[in-house]
Structure 1
Amino acid sequence: MPIRAPEDPTGTGGDAGSEPGAVRVFFDAILHPHRSLGRAGFRILMGVVILMNLIVAGIFVANGAWPVVPFCGLDVLALWLAFRVSYRSARQYERVRLTDRALTVQRVHWKVPERRWSFHPYWLRISHDERADHARRGPAGQVTLTSHGQSVGVGSFLSPQERSTFARALGDALRDWRRPPCPPAPAG
């Protein structure tokens, strides 16, 4: 889970005081699902599986059981398709950004259109039960952001330790945002 601090804390390319309407960034994280096998590892794995299947197919052909050969190719195809689906799902991400004006959550998934949620930080509550993560009870162990009856779960694909780290980092950033002089609470 990369939590990246912006190089420019204002998000404007300049000094926070030099531009009217400059936006100050308190937190900016892009969350990606973890994949344990990279592209190079995938190529090596597929090479080994193809080589082993060619050896097995050669043995069957040498013994006169040539109808088995197409089935040796089917398992290679099934493995390739499974990895293709896995790598496609790895393109999803969630971006959580806290500025002096709003906390926004952007969810990008390869199957559905991009979704965005926006919360005013003054009213925002962060919920995360670390015990539920470790005991495997309750919801999928996600971090829930709630404000004015609207809520969104973030980081359901992260490991329990990564969710805890993310929740603490976001909570710290929200506390920094609330330190004086924080923007005033909206009316209502």
Structure 2
Amino acid sequence: MTPGKPEAAPEDGPDHPAMQGEPGTGTVFGQAAPAALRFDAVLHPHRSLPPTGFVIFMIVLAGISFLAGLAFLYMGAWPVFGFFGLDVLLVYFAFRLNYRSGRAYQTVQLSATDLLVRDIDPRGRERSWRFEPTWLRVDLDDPPGPRSPLALCSHGGTLVIGAFLTPEEKQDFAQALRGALRDWRAGLSGGAPAGAADAYRGSSPSTSAMV
């Protein structure tokens, strides 16, 4: 692996394979990593309405729509009754699609040899990128805004991660990963690592760490 470049990266450019990701590479989530991890985080899209809240919301919405539909049915406007039922179905399917997209997640793992980023889509398809930590930089606006990208940069290549995180979550994660990389480099120079993996526990429902 060339220092500072993602694995299997011939040249930077719009078709850079390392920037696109390579399906099937990397470790399998939930299994032991080949080397001890210095940092291990999982990033999830935030969902403000939990499954139980969704069920309660749909029951209330269906009840209100049914009563309103009965009122129109009583007045002789029977087609309106069907439209109220259609509205409930549309809301239901919209929420189901939203929850399905919430199955996607990303993992960021720093081992003694490299940093591995894995992106898993709602269908379980995986792409992964590897970086040499020595030259890796974590870029984020200070302070971050709603559209500020959280990016990993190395030798002209850039990978944006955690696009679904809030600005506060991005800042929290960036600080933790920078600390882990700083400790990793200190270990190379003979310093004593401060255990950066313990510094990031995930302060919101969208982020979590396993150490």
Pairwise same-fold verdict (TM > 0.5)? yes
Letter in 2 for 1:103: L
2:148 to 141, 166, 174: 141
Specify every segment of 5 or more residues in structure 2 that has no aligned partner in the other structure, as ranges. Answer: 1-31, 191-211
Q: Which has the larger radius of gyration?
A: 1
- How big is the alpha-carbon RMSD for the aligned residues of Structure 1 and Structure 2? 1.8
| TM-score normalized by the length of structure 2 | 0.71
Please state if 1:161 is matched with 2:173.
no
Identity of aligned residues (%): 42
CA shift, 1:35, in A, is 0.4
Letter in 2 for 1:177: W
Specify every segment of 5 or more residues in structure 1 that has no aligned partner in the other structure, as ranges. Answer: 1-10, 13-21, 184-188
Is the 8 Å Cα contact of residues 26 and 173 (structure 1) preserved in structure 2? yes
| TM-score normalized by the length of structure 1 | 0.79
Could you report, residue by residue, the CA deviation over 1:71-104 in whole angstroms, capped at 9, with x for unpaired residues?
Answer: 0111101101110111011111110000011101
Please state if 1:83 is matched with 2:95.
yes
Could you report, residue by residue, the CA deviation over 1:98-130 in whole angstroms, capped at 9, with x for unpaired residues?
Answer: 001110110111268311010010111111113
Letter in 2 for 1:53: S
Letter in 2 for 1:126: V
**C-alpha separation in 2, matches of 1:91 and 1:158:** 14
Q: Corresponding residue for 2:85? A: 73
Letter in 2 for 1:122: T
Q: Corresponding residue for 1:175? A: 182
4+ residue segments displaced more than 6 Å:
none
Is the 8 Å Cα contact of residues 130 and 160 (structure 1) preserved in structure 2? no
Q: Corresponding residue for 1:25? A: 37
CA shift, 1:67, in A, is 1.5
Is the 8 Å Cα contact of residues 30 and 96 (structure 1) preserved in structure 2? yes
Is the 8 Å Cα contact of residues 128 and 143 (structure 1) preserved in structure 2? yes
Is the 8 Å Cα contact of residues 30 and 94 (structure 1) preserved in structure 2? yes
**C-alpha separation in 2, matches of 1:128 and 1:158:** 12
Please state if 1:53 is matched with 2:65.
yes
Q: How many aligned positions are there?
A: 159
Could you report, residue by residue, the CA deviation over 1:33-75 in whole angstroms, capped at 9, with x for unpaired residues?
Answer: 1101011100000000100111011111111111111101111
